Amino acid sequence: MKIIDGGQQAWQKAGLPLQKTIDKVKKQTDFGSNTIAHPEALIKTPAEMVNAEKTNPNLKLVSTRSWKEYVGNISGYSYIKETGEPKGGNLWPD
């Protein structure tokens, strides 16, 4: 989780637990599936974006990337050369 609406106080007020220790994690390289859970939400090309906007006026292109990816310092992936945010993307939409 990167952002908590209301911060730690809201988290505790909601009765949610806090953890004071760091769990040891094992790096995963296989997530068990190559299937996209919601292929209807996948937009791969500018043409697909234009079509999606025409068919859904409420469409929001939302970035889930880190700040360094968003501002174009890194792509976040070794196989993607381009950096920065796609035109029309929103890091934190309303």
How do residues 1-55 score in pLDDT, each as one tens digit?
Answer: 457 788 889 889 999 999 889 889 888 787 777 777 888 777 878 888 888 889 9
Separation of first and last alpha carbons in the chain: 18
DSSP reduced 3-state for 84: coil
Q: What is the pTM (predicted TM-score) of this model?
A: 0.36
So what's the pLDDT on residue 2? 56
So what's the pLDDT on residue 76? 81
30-37: long-range contacts, CB 8 A cutoff, minimum separation 24 = none
So what's the pLDDT on residue 91? 57
Q: Which residue has the higher pLDDT, 1 or 90?
A: 90
pLDDT at position 80 over 70: yes
Q: What domains, with CATH codes, occur in the chain?
A: 37-94 (3.40.250.10)
